[in-house]
Structure 1
Amino acid sequence: MTESTIQTATGGGGLRALAMLVRGEAKMVIRDTAGLVIPVALPLLIMVMNASSANSEEIVDGRTALDIYVLPIVFAIVIATIGIVNMPSFLTIYRKTGILRRLAVTPVSPMTVLSAQVIVSLIQALLGLAIAFTVAAVAFDARLPIDLGPALGIVVLSIAAMYALGMVVASLAPTPNAAIAIGLIVFFAIGALGGMFGGPDTLPDVIDRIGSVLPFGASVDGLSAAWAGETVPWRCWVSLAVTAVLGAGVAATTFRWDR
C-alpha cells in the first residue's frame, strides 16, 4: 500500500475509503509475483501430475479419483496458502511500517485496512479455485460435486477457518519474514496431517485421526464426501466452524496495531 493510497483513502470515509484501499491492496498483491502465482501454480502442478492416472479411475456416478481425491486437496491448498501464508505477511508489513498506527488517528480505521486485505485475498482465493476447476474440467473432464450445496458450504467454512488461522499468525508474528515462516510451518503441518502428501493409508491411525479434525483434513474430507454424493461427516463442519470462531477470537484479542 502506497502513501498516496493512504492519503486518498483518509480523505473520504465509509465505502469510498474501503474501495480505495481495496484497489491499493489489489495492486500490492499483483506486484507480489510469488504471492500471486504460487497459490495457483503449485496446486495446478500437483493436479496435473496426478491427473493422468486419477482421471482414468471412476469411483462413483461418473466422478473419478481426480474429482473425489485430487481436486479437494487442490482446493484446500489454494485456500490455505492464501489465508495462512500470503495474507498475514501483508498485514505484518503494514504494522511494521507504521501504516496501521497512522491510520488509527484518521477517519479510516485500521480495521478498514484489514477488511480490504481480506476482500482482496478472498477474491484471489476464489479466482484460484475457479482456475483450478476450469483447467481440470477442460483438460481432464472433471465434473462438479454430486452434492453441490454441501461442497459450497465446506468451501465457505474452509475459507473462514484458514483466514482465521492467518489472522492468528498475523497477530503473533513480529515481522513480515516471521509471518511467512510461521505461516509456512502451520500450512505444511496441517497439510501433511491432512493428506497433502499422501492418503490416510500412509499415516498411522492416531496421526490420521488428528489430521482429520484439523482444518486442512476437514476441508479435504468434506469436499471429497460432497463430490462423491456422500453425507459430509459432522466432524468436518464442527472442525472448520470451531477453528473459524476460535481463530477469530484469538486474533481479535492478541492482534497488535503497532510494533
Structure 2
Amino acid sequence: MSTPVEARRPGLRSLITLVGCEAKMVVRDTAGLVVPLCLPLMIMLTSAASASRTVVANGRTALEVYVLPLVFTMVVAIIGIINMPSFLAYYRRSGILRRLGVTPASPAMILAAQAIVSVLQALVGMTVALLVALLAFGADPPADLGRAVGVVALAMAAMYGAGLIVAAVAPTPNSAVAIGLVAFFVLGALGGMFGGRDSLPEPLAEIGGWLPFGAAVEALSSAWAGSTVAAANLIGLGATVVVAAVVAGVLFRWE
C-alpha cells in the first residue's frame, strides 16, 4: 500500500516565480506600463521650471511642496486604482483564480504577487520623477524623509485597498478600467489634482481632504516641508485602508 503524499503549499520560491510572471504581464501591457510612469512626469515637467523658483514654506519651493507630492500620489493612484484591478478582473474572468483554487497554490498568491509588482512599479515611477526634479530642477529631498516614506506606504495601502473594491465589483477587465478611471478622476478632482482644493467649494474641499488622494497629497506635502502631518490626513488614509479591506473582503469573488 503506497504512502499518501501530503500536498504542500508553495513557498517563497513559487511566490518569486509568480512575481516574475506578473512583472512580464505588466511590461507587455504598454499602456499600463507607460501611463503611470510618464503621465505624472509630463505633468511635473510642465510646471517644474516656474515651481522650482517659487519659495512657499520653510524655504521649500512649490515644486517640492505641491508638485512632487501630487506627482507621487498620481503614480500610486493610477497603478492602484486603475491598473491592478484590471489584471485581477482579467484573471477572474478567464478562470485563472478558480483554477488556482483547486491546486496547492492559493489564489491569494496572485493578489500578493500583483501587489508586489504594483509597489515596485510605483517605486520606479516615483524614483524617476524625484531624480528628474533633483537633477534637472535642483529640488531637495523631503525634510522629514522617514515621515514621507511612511506617508507613501500608507497612501499605497489606501489606493490599493480602493483598487481591490474596483476589482471586486468589476465583472470584466474593461469595466475595471472604466470604473477605475472614474474613481481616479473623482478622487483626484476632490483632492486637488486640477488646481488645488482651495479652488473647490468649501464642503467639497473638506471632503477631499479626508479622501485618500487629497489626504496623501497634503500629508506628503507637510512631510516634504518639514511640517507636522495633520491627523485628519492620517486618519483619512487609515480609514480608507480599513474600510476598503472590509468592503473588498465582502464583495470579492474568485470566480
CA distance in 2, matches of 1:63, 1:56: 10
Which residue does 2:111 correspond to in 1? 114
Q: How much does 1:11 deviate?
A: 10
CA distance in 1, matches of 2:71, 2:235: 22
Specify whether residues 211 and 14 from structure 1 end up closer, same or farther in structure 2 by C-alpha distance, changes over 3 A only: same
1:144 aligns with 2:137: no
CA distance in 1, matches of 2:41, 2:98: 39
The one-letter code of the counterpart of 2:73 is A
CA distance in 1, matches of 2:191, 2:106: 37
Return the match for 2:245 from 230, 235, 248: 248
Q: TM-score, normalised by structure 1?
A: 0.94
Which residue does 1:126 correspond to in 2? 123
Q: What is the aligned length?
A: 249
CA distance in 2, matches of 1:22, 1:173: 23
CA distance in 2, matches of 1:111, 1:203: 40
Please show how residues 16-165 of structure 1 align to structure 2 within 5 Å: 16-165=13-162
Specify whether residues 89 and 11 from structure 1 end up closer, same or farther in structure 2 by C-alpha distance, changes over 3 A only: farther
Which residue does 1:194 correspond to in 2? 191
CA distance in 2, matches of 1:201, 1:12: 52
SS in 2 for 1:196: coil
CA distance in 1, matches of 2:173, 2:136: 38
CA distance in 2, matches of 1:11, 1:95: 24
Identity score, percent: 57
CA distance in 1, matches of 2:75, 2:43: 11
- Structure 2's unaligned 5+ residue stretches are 1-6
Q: How much does 1:12 deviate?
A: 7.7
Q: How much does 1:62 deviate?
A: 3.7
CA distance in 2, matches of 1:46, 1:68: 15
- Structure 1's unaligned 5+ residue stretches are 1-9
Which residue does 1:231 correspond to in 2? 228
CA distance in 1, matches of 2:94, 2:196: 42
Cα displacement string for residues 149-208 of structure 1 (whole angstroms, at most 9, x for unaligned residues): 221111010000000000010011000000000000000000000000002231111111
CA distance in 2, matches of 1:248, 1:18: 22
CA distance in 2, matches of 1:107, 1:83: 28
The one-letter code of the counterpart of 2:30 is T
Which residue does 1:7 correspond to in 2? none
Which residue does 1:208 correspond to in 2? 205
Q: TM-score, normalised by structure 2?
A: 0.95
CA distance in 2, matches of 1:231, 1:224: 10
The one-letter code of the counterpart of 1:57 is T
Q: How much does 1:254 deviate?
A: 1.2
CA distance in 2, matches of 1:163, 1:222: 18
The one-letter code of the counterpart of 1:250 is V
SS in 2 for 1:195: coil
CA distance in 1, matches of 2:197, 2:187: 13
Q: How much does 1:58 deviate?
A: 1.5
For the Cα contact (< 8 Å) 2:63–2:139, is it kept in 1? yes
